[in-house]
Structure 1
Protein backbone atom coordinates (compact mmCIF):
# COMPACT_ATOMS: atom_id res chain seq x y z
CA UNK A 1 0.00 0.00 0.00
CA UNK A 2 1.15 3.52 -0.80
CA UNK A 3 -0.26 7.00 -0.30
CA UNK A 4 0.52 10.06 -2.44
CA UNK A 5 -0.55 13.30 -0.78
CA UNK A 6 -0.57 16.65 -2.57
CA UNK A 7 -0.70 19.96 -0.72
CA UNK A 8 -2.53 22.55 -2.81
CA UNK A 9 -2.29 26.34 -2.49
CA UNK A 10 -4.35 28.35 -4.96
CA UNK A 11 -2.11 31.42 -4.89
CA UNK A 12 0.79 29.37 -6.29
CA UNK A 13 -1.22 27.65 -9.04
CA UNK A 14 -0.88 29.73 -12.22
CA UNK A 15 -3.44 29.91 -15.02
CA UNK A 16 -0.93 28.47 -17.50
CA UNK A 17 -0.24 25.49 -15.24
CA UNK A 18 -3.97 24.89 -14.77
CA UNK A 19 -4.73 25.02 -18.50
CA UNK A 20 -1.77 22.81 -19.45
CA UNK A 21 -2.80 20.21 -16.88
CA UNK A 22 -6.43 20.34 -17.98
CA UNK A 23 -5.42 19.15 -21.46
CA UNK A 24 -4.17 15.87 -20.01
CA UNK A 25 -7.48 14.53 -18.73
CA UNK A 26 -10.33 13.03 -20.72
CA UNK A 27 -13.02 15.33 -22.18
CA UNK A 28 -15.68 14.22 -19.67
CA UNK A 29 -13.40 15.00 -16.71
CA UNK A 30 -12.35 18.31 -18.27
CA UNK A 31 -15.97 19.37 -18.69
CA UNK A 32 -16.79 18.46 -15.10
CA UNK A 33 -13.75 20.31 -13.75
CA UNK A 34 -14.63 23.47 -15.71
CA UNK A 35 -18.10 23.53 -14.12
CA UNK A 36 -16.73 24.26 -10.66
CA UNK A 37 -17.40 27.85 -9.59
CA UNK A 38 -14.41 28.01 -7.26
CA UNK A 39 -10.99 27.51 -8.82
CA UNK A 40 -9.69 25.64 -5.75
CA UNK A 41 -12.42 23.01 -6.17
CA UNK A 42 -11.53 22.63 -9.84
CA UNK A 43 -7.84 22.28 -9.04
CA UNK A 44 -8.42 19.66 -6.35
CA UNK A 45 -10.45 17.55 -8.75
CA UNK A 46 -7.87 18.06 -11.50
CA UNK A 47 -5.08 16.92 -9.16
CA UNK A 48 -7.08 13.80 -8.34
CA UNK A 49 -7.35 12.95 -12.04
CA UNK A 50 -3.63 13.52 -12.53
CA UNK A 51 -2.74 11.31 -9.56
CA UNK A 52 -4.33 8.22 -11.11
CA UNK A 53 -2.95 8.92 -14.56
CA UNK A 54 0.56 9.52 -13.26
CA UNK A 55 0.37 6.26 -11.29
CA UNK A 56 -0.59 4.31 -14.39
CA UNK A 57 2.03 6.01 -16.56
CA UNK A 58 4.70 5.05 -14.03
CA UNK A 59 3.40 1.48 -14.25
CA UNK A 60 4.01 1.49 -18.00
CA UNK A 61 0.44 2.13 -19.16
CA UNK A 62 0.26 4.59 -22.09
CA UNK A 63 -2.21 7.46 -21.79
CA UNK A 64 -4.25 6.11 -24.72
CA UNK A 65 -4.81 2.82 -22.89
CA UNK A 66 -5.98 4.25 -19.56
CA UNK A 67 -9.58 3.18 -18.90
CA UNK A 68 -11.56 4.02 -15.77
CA UNK A 69 -14.91 2.72 -14.59
CA UNK A 70 -17.24 3.18 -11.63
CA UNK A 71 -19.20 0.80 -9.44
CA UNK A 72 -22.96 1.10 -8.91
CA UNK A 73 -22.16 3.19 -5.79
CA UNK A 74 -20.02 5.46 -8.02
CA UNK A 75 -16.68 4.32 -6.62
CA UNK A 76 -14.13 4.71 -9.43
CA UNK A 77 -11.77 1.93 -10.39
CA UNK A 78 -9.13 1.22 -13.02
CA UNK A 79 -10.53 -1.01 -15.73
CA UNK A 80 -8.76 -3.51 -17.99
CA UNK A 81 -5.56 -3.66 -15.99
CA UNK A 82 -3.63 -6.83 -15.25
CA UNK A 83 -2.54 -7.10 -12.52
CA UNK A 84 -5.27 -4.82 -11.09
CA UNK A 85 -4.61 -1.79 -8.89
CA UNK A 86 -7.05 -0.75 -6.19
CA UNK A 87 -7.15 2.96 -5.39
CA UNK A 88 -9.17 5.62 -3.64
CA UNK A 89 -8.91 9.42 -3.48
CA UNK A 90 -9.91 11.85 -0.74
CA UNK A 91 -9.53 15.60 -0.40
CA UNK A 92 -10.28 18.26 2.17
CA UNK A 93 -9.32 21.93 2.03
CA UNK A 94 -5.69 22.08 0.78
CA UNK A 95 -4.93 18.35 0.78
CA UNK A 96 -5.57 15.72 -1.90
CA UNK A 97 -4.56 12.12 -1.12
CA UNK A 98 -4.60 8.91 -3.13
CA UNK A 99 -4.12 5.48 -1.56
CA UNK A 100 -3.37 2.53 -3.82
CA UNK A 101 -2.34 -1.10 -3.56
CA UNK A 102 -2.27 -4.26 -5.69
CA UNK A 103 -5.87 -5.30 -6.30
CA UNK A 104 -5.30 -8.79 -4.98
CA UNK A 105 -8.84 -9.31 -3.71
CA UNK A 106 -11.99 -9.52 -5.78
CA UNK A 107 -13.39 -7.18 -6.70
CA UNK A 108 -10.30 -4.94 -6.39
CA UNK A 109 -12.42 -1.78 -6.41
CA UNK A 110 -13.64 -2.68 -2.91
CA UNK A 111 -10.32 -3.32 -1.16
CA UNK A 112 -9.03 0.14 -0.22
CA UNK A 113 -10.35 3.47 1.04
CA UNK A 114 -8.78 6.68 2.29
CA UNK A 115 -10.12 9.72 4.09
CA UNK A 116 -8.36 12.96 5.05
CA UNK A 117 -9.71 15.88 7.06
CA UNK A 118 -8.39 19.17 8.33
CA UNK A 119 -8.42 19.26 12.14
CA UNK A 120 -10.58 22.29 12.82
CA UNK A 121 -13.96 23.45 14.07
CA UNK A 122 -15.80 24.65 10.94
CA UNK A 123 -17.48 28.01 10.59
CA UNK A 124 -18.74 29.68 13.74
CA UNK A 125 -19.44 26.43 15.56
CA UNK A 126 -18.29 25.66 19.06
CA UNK A 127 -16.66 22.30 19.71
CA UNK A 128 -19.77 20.99 21.45
CA UNK A 129 -22.19 22.20 18.75
CA UNK A 130 -19.92 20.83 16.02
CA UNK A 131 -19.79 17.34 17.54
CA UNK A 132 -23.51 17.48 18.36
CA UNK A 133 -24.25 18.23 14.69
CA UNK A 134 -22.94 14.77 13.73
CA UNK A 135 -23.56 13.12 17.08
CA UNK A 136 -26.11 10.69 15.69
CA UNK A 137 -23.25 9.00 13.79
CA UNK A 138 -21.22 8.35 16.97
CA UNK A 139 -21.76 5.53 19.43
CA UNK A 140 -22.43 6.25 23.12
CA UNK A 141 -18.93 4.96 23.90
CA UNK A 142 -17.38 7.37 21.37
CA UNK A 143 -19.36 10.25 22.87
CA UNK A 144 -18.04 9.42 26.32
CA UNK A 145 -14.46 9.16 25.05
CA UNK A 146 -14.66 12.65 23.54
CA UNK A 147 -15.93 14.28 26.73
CA UNK A 148 -13.91 12.49 29.37
CA UNK A 149 -12.04 15.42 30.91
CA UNK A 150 -9.48 15.78 28.11
CA UNK A 151 -8.47 19.11 26.53
CA UNK A 152 -10.42 20.69 23.68
CA UNK A 153 -7.51 20.11 21.29
CA UNK A 154 -7.36 16.43 22.20
CA UNK A 155 -11.14 16.11 21.86
CA UNK A 156 -10.94 17.56 18.36
CA UNK A 157 -8.09 15.26 17.36
CA UNK A 158 -9.95 12.24 18.72
CA UNK A 159 -13.11 13.20 16.87
CA UNK A 160 -11.34 13.35 13.52
CA UNK A 161 -9.61 10.01 14.11
CA UNK A 162 -13.01 8.48 14.80
CA UNK A 163 -14.56 10.14 11.76
CA UNK A 164 -11.79 9.42 9.26
CA UNK A 165 -11.53 5.75 10.22
CA UNK A 166 -15.29 5.35 9.71
CA UNK A 167 -15.12 7.13 6.35
CA UNK A 168 -12.09 5.16 5.14
CA UNK A 169 -13.72 1.83 6.01
CA UNK A 170 -16.99 2.57 4.22
CA UNK A 171 -15.11 3.94 1.21
CA UNK A 172 -13.11 0.72 1.02
CA UNK A 173 -16.37 -1.24 1.05
CA UNK A 174 -17.63 0.92 -1.82
CA UNK A 175 -20.96 1.45 -0.10
CA UNK A 176 -21.38 5.15 -0.78
CA UNK A 177 -23.74 7.23 1.35
CA UNK A 178 -26.26 5.72 3.73
CA UNK A 179 -24.05 3.44 5.84
CA UNK A 180 -24.90 3.91 9.51
CA UNK A 181 -21.66 5.07 11.13
CA UNK A 182 -22.92 3.90 14.51
CA UNK A 183 -22.26 0.36 13.32
CA UNK A 184 -18.56 1.27 13.49
CA UNK A 185 -16.99 2.01 16.87
CA UNK A 186 -13.40 3.13 17.34
CA UNK A 187 -11.80 2.94 20.78
CA UNK A 188 -8.84 5.31 20.41
CA UNK A 189 -7.21 4.54 23.76
CA UNK A 190 -7.46 0.79 23.23
CA UNK A 191 -6.82 1.16 19.48
CA UNK A 192 -9.64 -1.28 18.72
CA UNK A 193 -12.20 -1.06 15.91
CA UNK A 194 -15.54 -2.85 16.07
CA UNK A 195 -18.08 -3.26 13.27
CA UNK A 196 -21.48 -4.48 14.46
CA UNK A 197 -19.81 -5.08 17.87
CA UNK A 198 -17.19 -7.44 16.44
CA UNK A 199 -13.62 -6.99 15.21
CA UNK A 200 -13.75 -7.24 11.40
CA UNK A 201 -11.45 -9.84 9.89
CA UNK A 202 -8.73 -9.09 7.37
CA UNK A 203 -8.37 -5.32 7.63
CA UNK A 204 -5.44 -2.96 8.15
CA UNK A 205 -5.98 0.67 9.11
CA UNK A 206 -3.02 3.05 8.68
CA UNK A 207 -3.25 6.45 10.39
CA UNK A 208 -1.17 9.43 9.31
CA UNK A 209 -0.85 13.18 9.89
CA UNK A 210 0.30 15.95 7.53
CA UNK A 211 0.85 19.69 7.90
CA UNK A 212 0.67 22.42 5.26
CA UNK A 213 2.70 24.86 7.42
CA UNK A 214 -0.39 26.26 9.13
CA UNK A 215 -2.91 23.41 9.34
CA UNK A 216 -2.96 19.87 10.66
CA UNK A 217 -4.60 17.07 8.67
CA UNK A 218 -5.45 13.59 9.88
CA UNK A 219 -5.89 10.68 7.48
CA UNK A 220 -6.69 6.99 7.58
CA UNK A 221 -6.24 4.29 4.93
CA UNK A 222 -8.46 1.23 5.25
CA UNK A 223 -7.13 -1.75 3.32
CA UNK A 224 -8.52 -5.26 3.09
CA UNK A 225 -5.51 -7.57 3.32
CA UNK A 226 -7.17 -10.88 4.19
CA UNK A 227 -6.48 -13.15 7.09
CA UNK A 228 -7.74 -12.95 10.66
CA UNK A 229 -8.20 -9.96 12.92
CA UNK A 230 -7.62 -6.27 12.25
CA UNK A 231 -4.45 -4.20 12.58
CA UNK A 232 -4.49 -0.47 13.33
CA UNK A 233 -1.17 1.26 12.67
CA UNK A 234 -0.63 4.33 14.83
CA UNK A 235 0.21 7.68 13.24
CA UNK A 236 3.56 7.75 15.03
CA UNK A 237 4.75 4.59 13.26
CA UNK A 238 7.12 4.63 10.27
CA UNK A 239 5.44 6.05 7.17
CA UNK A 240 7.68 4.96 4.34
CA UNK A 241 4.50 4.30 2.37
CA UNK A 242 3.52 8.01 2.44
CA UNK A 243 4.87 10.55 -0.07
CA UNK A 244 3.92 14.23 0.23
CA UNK A 245 4.14 16.59 -2.74
CA UNK A 246 3.83 20.31 -3.31
CA UNK A 247 0.97 20.73 -5.81
CA UNK A 248 2.89 22.86 -8.30
CA UNK A 249 5.85 20.47 -8.36
CA UNK A 250 3.55 17.45 -8.67
CA UNK A 251 1.50 18.93 -11.53
CA UNK A 252 4.60 20.06 -13.42
CA UNK A 253 6.05 16.55 -13.15
CA UNK A 254 2.71 15.00 -14.14
CA UNK A 255 2.60 17.19 -17.26
CA UNK A 256 6.09 16.08 -18.26
CA UNK A 257 5.33 12.40 -17.72
CA UNK A 258 1.90 12.34 -19.32
CA UNK A 259 2.99 14.23 -22.40
CA UNK A 260 5.58 11.55 -23.13
CA UNK A 261 4.14 8.87 -25.38
Structure 2
Protein backbone atom coordinates (compact mmCIF):
# COMPACT_ATOMS: atom_id res chain seq x y z
CA UNK A 1 0.00 0.00 0.00
CA UNK A 2 1.25 3.49 -0.82
CA UNK A 3 0.70 5.41 2.41
CA UNK A 4 3.36 8.10 2.99
CA UNK A 5 4.45 8.48 6.61
CA UNK A 6 5.00 11.77 8.42
CA UNK A 7 6.39 12.22 11.92
CA UNK A 8 6.23 15.32 14.09
CA UNK A 9 8.56 15.55 17.07
CA UNK A 10 8.12 18.32 19.62
CA UNK A 11 10.86 18.91 22.16
CA UNK A 12 10.29 20.81 25.37
CA UNK A 13 13.21 23.17 24.86
CA UNK A 14 12.32 25.16 27.98
CA UNK A 15 10.15 25.01 31.06
CA UNK A 16 6.48 25.88 30.67
CA UNK A 17 4.96 28.74 32.68
CA UNK A 18 1.84 28.11 34.80
CA UNK A 19 -0.19 30.27 32.41
CA UNK A 20 1.01 28.28 29.39
CA UNK A 21 0.21 24.99 31.10
CA UNK A 22 -3.31 26.19 31.92
CA UNK A 23 -3.87 27.24 28.33
CA UNK A 24 -2.57 23.95 26.94
CA UNK A 25 -4.51 21.83 29.42
CA UNK A 26 -7.83 23.55 28.79
CA UNK A 27 -7.30 23.34 25.03
CA UNK A 28 -6.55 19.62 25.36
CA UNK A 29 -9.82 19.10 27.22
CA UNK A 30 -11.70 20.77 24.38
CA UNK A 31 -9.98 19.25 21.35
CA UNK A 32 -9.27 15.79 22.82
CA UNK A 33 -12.16 15.04 25.14
CA UNK A 34 -11.18 11.36 25.15
CA UNK A 35 -7.88 12.16 26.88
CA UNK A 36 -8.06 11.32 30.58
CA UNK A 37 -5.02 13.28 31.77
CA UNK A 38 -5.11 14.56 35.38
CA UNK A 39 -4.43 18.24 36.00
CA UNK A 40 -0.87 18.25 37.35
CA UNK A 41 1.32 21.24 36.33
CA UNK A 42 4.35 19.93 38.26
CA UNK A 43 4.26 16.41 36.80
CA UNK A 44 6.69 16.17 33.85
CA UNK A 45 5.35 12.79 32.72
CA UNK A 46 1.77 14.03 32.54
CA UNK A 47 2.93 17.20 30.79
CA UNK A 48 4.14 15.04 27.92
CA UNK A 49 0.67 13.53 27.64
CA UNK A 50 -0.99 16.95 27.55
CA UNK A 51 1.33 18.11 24.77
CA UNK A 52 0.91 14.86 22.83
CA UNK A 53 -2.87 15.19 22.68
CA UNK A 54 -2.49 18.66 21.14
CA UNK A 55 -0.42 17.40 18.20
CA UNK A 56 -3.33 16.06 16.10
CA UNK A 57 -4.96 19.51 16.28
CA UNK A 58 -1.66 21.16 15.40
CA UNK A 59 -1.20 18.83 12.44
CA UNK A 60 -4.70 19.45 11.09
CA UNK A 61 -4.27 23.20 11.49
CA UNK A 62 -1.02 22.90 9.53
CA UNK A 63 -3.08 21.26 6.78
CA UNK A 64 -5.51 24.22 6.93
CA UNK A 65 -8.48 21.98 7.79
CA UNK A 66 -10.97 23.70 10.18
CA UNK A 67 -11.72 21.90 13.44
CA UNK A 68 -15.37 21.53 12.47
CA UNK A 69 -14.43 19.44 9.44
CA UNK A 70 -12.69 16.52 11.14
CA UNK A 71 -13.36 14.15 14.02
CA UNK A 72 -11.09 12.03 16.18
CA UNK A 73 -12.33 8.43 16.07
CA UNK A 74 -11.31 5.11 17.63
CA UNK A 75 -11.31 1.72 15.91
CA UNK A 76 -12.71 -1.49 17.45
CA UNK A 77 -9.14 -2.43 18.40
CA UNK A 78 -8.63 0.86 20.24
CA UNK A 79 -6.53 2.55 17.56
CA UNK A 80 -7.16 6.24 16.97
CA UNK A 81 -7.69 7.82 13.57
CA UNK A 82 -8.98 11.08 12.13
CA UNK A 83 -12.05 11.14 9.89
CA UNK A 84 -12.20 14.14 7.54
CA UNK A 85 -15.13 15.79 5.80
CA UNK A 86 -14.21 15.92 2.12
CA UNK A 87 -16.08 16.86 -1.05
CA UNK A 88 -17.07 13.54 -2.61
CA UNK A 89 -19.10 14.96 -5.51
CA UNK A 90 -16.48 14.16 -8.13
CA UNK A 91 -15.12 11.02 -6.48
CA UNK A 92 -17.33 9.20 -3.92
CA UNK A 93 -14.44 6.97 -2.81
CA UNK A 94 -12.30 9.97 -1.82
CA UNK A 95 -13.76 10.04 1.68
CA UNK A 96 -12.71 6.43 2.30
CA UNK A 97 -9.12 7.32 1.48
CA UNK A 98 -9.11 10.44 3.67
CA UNK A 99 -8.68 8.67 7.02
CA UNK A 100 -5.54 9.59 8.99
CA UNK A 101 -4.13 6.92 11.25
CA UNK A 102 -1.86 8.22 13.99
CA UNK A 103 -0.11 7.31 17.21
CA UNK A 104 1.39 9.44 19.99
CA UNK A 105 4.47 8.69 22.08
CA UNK A 106 6.53 10.62 24.62
CA UNK A 107 9.50 10.23 26.93
CA UNK A 108 10.87 12.95 29.18
CA UNK A 109 11.37 16.04 26.98
CA UNK A 110 10.42 14.61 23.58
CA UNK A 111 6.86 14.14 22.32
CA UNK A 112 6.14 12.49 18.98
CA UNK A 113 3.30 11.82 16.58
CA UNK A 114 3.39 9.48 13.58
CA UNK A 115 0.64 9.63 10.96
CA UNK A 116 -0.36 8.34 7.54
CA UNK A 117 -3.42 8.76 5.29
CA UNK A 118 -5.50 6.26 3.36
CA UNK A 119 -8.34 3.83 3.99
CA UNK A 120 -8.96 3.07 7.65
CA UNK A 121 -7.97 -0.57 7.34
CA UNK A 122 -4.64 0.51 5.83
CA UNK A 123 -3.67 3.29 8.27
CA UNK A 124 -4.58 2.24 11.79
CA UNK A 125 -1.76 -0.28 12.35
CA UNK A 126 0.93 2.30 13.00
CA UNK A 127 2.93 2.92 16.17
CA UNK A 128 5.76 5.06 17.47
CA UNK A 129 8.40 4.26 20.09
CA UNK A 130 10.53 6.89 21.86
CA UNK A 131 13.22 6.03 24.43
CA UNK A 132 15.73 8.45 25.91
CA UNK A 133 19.30 7.19 25.99
CA UNK A 134 19.61 7.47 29.75
CA UNK A 135 19.42 5.21 32.79
CA UNK A 136 16.95 5.18 35.68
CA UNK A 137 17.90 5.98 38.39
CA UNK A 138 20.65 8.23 37.08
CA UNK A 139 23.38 6.85 39.36
CA UNK A 140 23.33 3.24 38.10
CA UNK A 141 25.35 1.70 35.28
CA UNK A 142 23.82 0.87 31.92
CA UNK A 143 24.32 -2.83 32.62
CA UNK A 144 22.43 -2.57 35.91
CA UNK A 145 19.66 -0.65 34.18
CA UNK A 146 19.48 -3.28 31.44
CA UNK A 147 19.32 -6.03 34.05
CA UNK A 148 16.23 -4.41 35.57
CA UNK A 149 14.53 -4.75 32.17
CA UNK A 150 15.56 -8.34 31.41
CA UNK A 151 11.93 -9.45 31.70
CA UNK A 152 11.18 -7.49 28.52
CA UNK A 153 13.90 -9.22 26.50
CA UNK A 154 14.36 -12.71 25.06
CA UNK A 155 17.48 -14.87 25.64
CA UNK A 156 18.78 -13.88 22.19
CA UNK A 157 18.23 -10.18 22.87
CA UNK A 158 20.05 -10.47 26.18
CA UNK A 159 23.20 -11.42 24.25
CA UNK A 160 22.99 -8.04 22.49
CA UNK A 161 23.18 -6.18 25.83
CA UNK A 162 25.79 -8.31 27.61
CA UNK A 163 27.72 -6.28 30.24
CA UNK A 164 31.03 -7.17 28.55
CA UNK A 165 30.07 -4.90 25.63
CA UNK A 166 30.45 -1.77 27.76
CA UNK A 167 27.92 0.72 29.06
CA UNK A 168 27.69 2.85 25.92
CA UNK A 169 26.90 -0.09 23.62
CA UNK A 170 24.55 -1.69 26.14
CA UNK A 171 22.49 1.48 26.57
CA UNK A 172 22.28 2.18 22.85
CA UNK A 173 21.20 -1.36 21.99
CA UNK A 174 18.78 -1.60 24.91
CA UNK A 175 16.99 1.61 23.92
CA UNK A 176 16.82 0.42 20.31
CA UNK A 177 15.15 -2.84 21.33
CA UNK A 178 12.71 -1.09 23.66
CA UNK A 179 11.76 1.56 21.09
CA UNK A 180 11.11 -1.09 18.43
CA UNK A 181 9.01 -3.19 20.78
CA UNK A 182 7.02 -0.19 21.96
CA UNK A 183 6.32 0.86 18.37
CA UNK A 184 5.05 -2.58 17.37
CA UNK A 185 2.97 -3.13 20.50
CA UNK A 186 1.25 0.22 20.01
CA UNK A 187 0.79 -0.41 16.28
CA UNK A 188 -1.30 -3.51 16.99
CA UNK A 189 -3.27 -1.80 19.76
CA UNK A 190 -2.08 -3.90 22.70
CA UNK A 191 -2.51 -2.69 26.33
CA UNK A 192 0.28 -1.77 28.74
CA UNK A 193 0.30 -5.27 30.25
CA UNK A 194 1.45 -6.93 27.02
CA UNK A 195 4.41 -9.29 27.54
CA UNK A 196 7.27 -7.62 25.67
CA UNK A 197 9.31 -10.83 25.75
CA UNK A 198 6.83 -12.38 23.28
CA UNK A 199 8.57 -10.24 20.65
CA UNK A 200 12.11 -10.90 19.53
CA UNK A 201 14.14 -8.51 17.37
CA UNK A 202 17.22 -10.07 15.82
CA UNK A 203 18.89 -6.78 14.91
CA UNK A 204 21.95 -8.14 13.02
CA UNK A 205 19.71 -10.27 10.78
CA UNK A 206 16.92 -7.67 10.63
CA UNK A 207 14.35 -10.27 11.62
CA UNK A 208 11.47 -10.06 14.08
CA UNK A 209 9.23 -12.77 15.51
CA UNK A 210 6.15 -12.85 17.70
CA UNK A 211 5.68 -15.96 19.84
CA UNK A 212 8.41 -17.54 17.71
CA UNK A 213 6.59 -16.89 14.41
CA UNK A 214 8.16 -14.51 11.83
CA UNK A 215 6.22 -11.27 11.49
CA UNK A 216 5.40 -10.51 7.87
CA UNK A 217 4.31 -7.31 6.19
CA UNK A 218 5.82 -4.81 8.63
CA UNK A 219 7.98 -1.78 7.98
CA UNK A 220 10.25 -0.60 10.80
CA UNK A 221 11.99 2.77 10.60
CA UNK A 222 14.74 3.63 13.06
CA UNK A 223 16.44 6.95 13.83
CA UNK A 224 17.89 9.01 16.66
CA UNK A 225 17.00 12.52 17.78
CA UNK A 226 19.40 14.92 19.49
CA UNK A 227 17.79 17.92 21.17
CA UNK A 228 18.90 20.84 23.32
CA UNK A 229 16.99 21.59 26.53
CA UNK A 230 17.40 24.86 28.43
CA UNK A 231 17.31 24.39 32.17
CA UNK A 232 18.44 26.99 34.75
CA UNK A 233 20.11 29.08 32.08
CA UNK A 234 22.11 26.20 30.63
CA UNK A 235 21.49 24.06 27.54
CA UNK A 236 21.55 20.32 28.17
CA UNK A 237 21.93 17.92 25.24
CA UNK A 238 19.69 14.82 25.21
CA UNK A 239 19.59 11.86 22.83
CA UNK A 240 16.56 9.72 22.04
CA UNK A 241 16.14 6.47 20.17
CA UNK A 242 13.06 6.52 17.97
CA UNK A 243 11.34 3.79 15.97
CA UNK A 244 8.07 3.35 14.12
CA UNK A 245 6.21 0.25 13.05
CA UNK A 246 3.70 0.25 10.19
CA UNK A 247 1.89 -2.68 8.63
CA UNK A 248 2.15 -2.42 4.85
CA UNK A 249 0.99 -5.94 4.03
CA UNK A 250 4.11 -6.89 2.06
CA UNK A 251 5.39 -10.47 1.92
CA UNK A 252 8.36 -9.70 4.16
CA UNK A 253 9.06 -7.29 6.97
CA UNK A 254 11.93 -4.88 6.46
CA UNK A 255 13.96 -2.30 8.37
CA UNK A 256 14.93 1.21 7.27
CA UNK A 257 17.82 2.81 9.16
CA UNK A 258 17.97 6.60 8.93
CA UNK A 259 21.36 8.08 9.76
CA UNK A 260 21.56 11.02 7.33
CA UNK A 261 19.79 14.11 8.62
CA UNK A 262 18.95 15.36 5.14
CA UNK A 263 16.91 12.24 4.30
CA UNK A 264 15.34 12.18 7.75
CA UNK A 265 14.07 15.75 7.39
CA UNK A 266 12.02 14.76 4.33
CA UNK A 267 9.49 13.00 6.59
CA UNK A 268 10.41 13.87 10.21
CA UNK A 269 9.75 17.44 11.35
CA UNK A 270 11.10 18.88 14.60
CA UNK A 271 9.31 21.70 16.42
CA UNK A 272 9.78 23.20 19.87
CA UNK A 273 7.47 24.30 22.66
CA UNK A 274 7.43 27.95 21.55
CA UNK A 275 6.05 26.96 18.13
CA UNK A 276 3.18 25.14 19.82
CA UNK A 277 2.41 27.83 22.41
CA UNK A 278 2.11 30.46 19.68
CA UNK A 279 -0.81 28.66 18.03
CA UNK A 280 -2.58 27.02 20.99
CA UNK A 281 -5.32 29.72 21.13
CA UNK A 282 -6.16 28.97 17.46
CA UNK A 283 -6.24 25.16 17.58
CA UNK A 284 -10.02 25.02 17.96
CA UNK A 285 -10.70 27.31 14.99
* Superposition TM-score tier, normalisation by shorter sequence: 0.7 to 0.9
Distance in 2, matches of 1:70 and 1:86, equals 10
**Structure 1 residue runs without a partner (length 5+):** none
CA drift of 1:31 comes to 8.9
Give the match for residue 119 of structure 1: 133
1:117–1:164 Cα contact (<8 Å) kept = yes
Give the match for residue 8 of structure 2: 4
Distance 1:73 1:125, change over 3 A: farther
Deviations 1:53-111 (A, max 9, x none): 122233343223442234566543324663100100000000000000114351743x1
**Is 1:227 paired with 2:250?**
yes
Q: Secondary structure of 1:215's partner? A: strand
Q: Secondary structure of 2:190's partner? A: coil
2:146–2:161 Cα contact (<8 Å) kept = no
Distance 1:34 1:179, change over 3 A: closer
Deviations 1:107-135 (A, max 9, x none): 743x1000101111111433333222221
| 1:151 aligns with one of 149, 166, 173 | 166
**Structure 2 residue runs without a partner (length 5+):** 86-94, 229-236
TM-score if structure 2 supplies the norm length?
0.79
Give the match for residue 185 of structure 2: 170
| 1:102 aligns with one of 91, 96, 117 | 117
2:133–2:172 Cα contact (<8 Å) kept = yes
Deviations 1:10-58 (A, max 9, x none): 42x3344334444433447499555225253453223212210122233
Distance in 2, matches of 1:132 and 1:147, equals 9
TM-score if structure 1 supplies the norm length?
0.86
Name which of structure 1's ranges 49-58 and 134-143 shifts more when overlaid on structure 2: 49-58
| 1:84 aligns with one of 90, 99, 113 | 99
Q: CA RMSD in A?
A: 2.6
Give the match for residue 92 of structure 2: none
2:83–2:100 Cα contact (<8 Å) kept = no
Give the match for residue 247 of structure 1: 273
2:130–2:242 Cα contact (<8 Å) kept = yes
Distance in 1, matches of 2:23 and 2:204, equals 47
What is the 5 A alignment of 1:26-105? 26-27=29-30, 29=33, 32-33=36-37, 35-36=39-40, 38-71=42-75, 74-79=78-83, 82=95, 83-104=98-119
CA drift of 1:186 comes to 1.2
